[in-house]
Amino acid sequence: MKENRRNFLKQIAIGSIGLTLAPGLRANEVASKDITIVSGKKTKSNQNNNMSGYRAPKLKTVRVGFVGVGNRGYSNLSQMTLLDGVEIKAICDIAQFRVDEAQQLLIKKGLPKAIVYTGNDDAWREMCENTDLDLISIAVPRGPLHARISVYAMKCGKHVAVEVPAVSTVDEAWEIVETSENTRKQCYMMENCCYDFFELLTLNMARQGFFGDIIHVDAAYLHYQKIYEKTRDNDMWRLEESQYHNGNIYPTHGLGPVCQVLNVNRGDKLNYMVSMSSDDFMLGKKVAELASNDSFYQRFNVDSYRGNINTSIIRTEKGRTIMLQHDTTSPRVYSRIHAISGTLAAAQKYPLPPRISVGHEWLGDEEMKKVSEQYMPEIVKRIGEMAQKVGGHGGMDFLMTWRLIDCLRNGLPVDIDVYDAAAWSVITPLSQWSLANHSRPIEVPDFTRGAWKTNQPVDISLSEGADTSVRTGS
């Protein structure tokens, strides 16, 4: 799973910038409604099977294999150990200490050890070919492997749950879309922020008409991280990506929840966007300082890094606007903003506490309590307390995992389908293109190929057979 990450990242960066070299193209022609052009390549496809609202055959037991059991993968594995109707059958990682830790977790939970796939960078292929699996959970460093493993797993007859973002290029986005349609397998992107309790509250409020017509939303991933610090296995993929990607490299945490509020891909679609970044005022200086005392950092001591703060503006087909930001380098308080402006009311989560207004002042505590009680979705009312006890980003990780398994076991449409995975993730390469072209506008491909006009929003509710318990003793 290393796959010479540095070379891959360089190739991706060159491919994105290469868009400017295609002769005779205007910015608004690069991603037209029917044709997407990346590095001179044209891709045109008709929708085969519409995966929006698709109900896969019910699975009495969901047999899961995990590709990558590092920090995020281990957390996903831990969540799965709590659920009835799940069998953890296989794990795959190139690091033996991670495999050992995962096996110890299963033993601690009183579960059988999993089959191990390791020893080479392509061990995940053999795991995907295992006919004794239904779902492949993917949590490897971002880059080509997210899409590559997802596509191969679906072609092997498996549903996919892939960490964010699902793709790195427009070509990869089309590939996961077409593969999901052709195989009739779910490609679910594990965007846990869509299951934050306040995000779910505002989603239900929007669908009940509380905000009126929604005009504008603000979204972000503002998370101060010292990405230059060494990891346990010296895999510095976050720092490497910052060398080669100047744009919004992590858009989905903020974008996903507001896209659901706007019913993107189900009544509206992302139309076009522009993007702008500051210069780098921090990363390059810090890495140069570290490199002067530690040879490990010499390979990261490059002339330029991505801008510290990226701001992108997206307009939807129905004339709503989205402000989307990314910043992981400035010393600031964590925020996804999550602000909604409508014709009747508004909401904003950050800075905490979350607030709602129906005029120029925020609602008071008692009014907020009444609104929350009235509009909080049933899934939070019934699963929320248990999710908070289990943990994982305040409980949203468990709620996401529980919901995915509930959908697969009861034949429900997944809340985040392959069109969402593609549209939310593709903001990364599109933002890079816009930046490389003096913030010129670029259209967002319509991965539904027009089906957004008739697709219906997914009802994020409990199934009739919902199992709201966890394993005894877990």
- Each residue of 242-288: pLDDT tens digit? 988 899 999 999 999 999 999 999 999 999 999 999 999 999 999 99
**pLDDT bracket for residue 37 (50, 70, 90):** very low
**How many angstroms separate the CA atoms of 204 and 384, rounded?**
15
The pair of three-digit structure tokens given for residue 328, joined into one six-digit string: 């992981």
User: Cβ of 194: how many Cβ atoms within 10 Å?
Assistant: 26
Task: Examine the pLDDT at 34 and tell me if it is beyond 70.
Answer: no
Return the pLDDT at 315.
98
Q: Which residue has the higher pLDDT, 32 or 309?
A: 309
What is the mean pLDDT of the segment spanning 57-63?
Answer: 98
State the burial class of residue 207 (Cβ atoms within 10 Å of its Cβ: 0-12, 13-18, 19+): middle
Give start and end residues of each alpha helix (H) in 349-458: 365-375, 378-390, 396-410, 418-425, 427-436
Please give the pLDDT value at position 144.
Answer: 85
For residue 205, the SS3 value is helix
State yes or no: pLDDT of 138 exceeds 50: yes
Q: What is the pLDDT of residue 141?
A: 85
pLDDT at 36 over 70: no
- Residue among 212, 196, 218 at smallest CA distance from 400: 196
Q: What is the DSSP string of 141-166?
A: -SSHHHHHHHHHHHHTT-EEEEPSSS
Question: Among the residues of 18-161, which ranges form H helices?
Answer: 71-80, 96-108, 123-128, 144-155
Q: What is the C-alpha end-to-end distance of the chain, expressed in Å?
A: 31
Amino acid at 217: V
Task: Tell the residue number behind the tokens 């957004």, with chain if given.
Answer: 452
Rounded Cα distance between 365 and 269, Å, is 35
Interval 320-335 mean pLDDT: 97
Question: What was the pLDDT predicted at 182?
Answer: 97
What pLDDT does 7 receive? 42
Torsion of CA 422, 423, 428, 433, to 10 degrees: 110
Mean pLDDT, the chain, whole residue set: 90
Q: What is the mean predicted confidence (pLDDT) over 374-395?
A: 93
Backbone angles phi, psi at 389, to 5 degrees: -65, -40
Phi, psi (deg, nearest 5) at residue 72: -75, -40
Task: Quickly state the pLDDT bin for 46 (edges 50, 70, 90).
Answer: confident
User: Residue 30's pLDDT is what?
Assistant: 39
Secondary structure element (H or E) that encloses residue 88, with its range: strand 86-92
| pLDDT at 26 > cutoff 60 | no
The answer to whether 310 touches 276, Cβ cutoff 8 Å, is yes
- What pLDDT is recorded for position 469? 65
Structure tokens at 35: 């044709």
Closest CA to 189 of 263, 133, 253, 265: 253
Full DSSP string of 175-194: HHHHHHHHHT--EEE--GGG
Give the separation between CA 465 and CA 459, rounded to whole angstroms. Answer: 15
Give the span between the Cα atoms of 240 and 238, in whole angstroms. Answer: 5
- Per 3-state DSSP, the chain is made up of helix, strand and coil in percentages (nearest 5) of 40, 15, 45
Check residue 232 and give its pLDDT: 85
Q: Which helix (H) or strand (E) holds 258?
A: helix 252-261
pLDDT of residue 11: 39
- Placement of tokens 């468990």 in the chain: 398
| DSSP assignment letter at 213 | S
Grade residue 25 by pLDDT with cuts at 50, 70 and 90: very low
pLDDT exceeding 90 applies to what percent of the chain? Answer: 82
What's residue 41's pLDDT?
A: 38
pLDDT, tens only, 441-467: 999 999 999 999 999 999 886 666 676
Structural tokens at position 297: 């950092």
**Predicted pLDDT of residue 235:** 84
Q: Is the pLDDT confidence value at 155 over 60?
A: yes
For residues 131 and 57, give the distance between their C-alpha atoms in angstroms, rounded to a whole number: 17
DSSP 282-346: SHHHHHHHHHTT-GGGGGG--S----S-EEEEEEETTS-EEEEEEESSS----B---EEEESS-E
> Alpha-carbon distance 54 to 413, whole Å?
5
pLDDT class for 169, splitting at 50, 70, 90?
A: very high
Torsions phi, psi for 327 (to 5 deg): -160, 120
C-alpha span between 287 and 294 (Å, rounded): 10
Cα distance between residue 406 and residue 383, in whole Å: 12
Residue 436 has pLDDT above 70, yes or no: yes
Asked if residue 35 has pLDDT above 60, the reply is no
The domain locations on the chain are 194-376+417-453
* pLDDT tier at 24, thresholds 50, 70, 90: very low
State the sign of the Cα–Cα–Cα–Cα dihedral 450, 456, 462, 465: negative
Q: Each residue of 332-343: pLDDT tens digit?
A: 999 999 999 999
Is domain 194-376+417-453 in CATH 1.10.10.10, yes or no?
no
pLDDT at 3: 43
Q: At what angle do helices 418-425 and 427-436 cross, to 10 degrees?
A: 20
Task: Give the contacts of 182 (CB within 8 A, at least 6 positions apart).
Answer: 48, 49
Q: Is the pLDDT of residue 9 over 80?
A: no
- The length of the chain, given as a count of residues: 474
pLDDT at residue 21 above 50?
Answer: no
Tally the C-alpha atoms within 13 A of residue 23's C-alpha that lie toward its C-beta.
0
Check residue 468 and give its pLDDT: 63
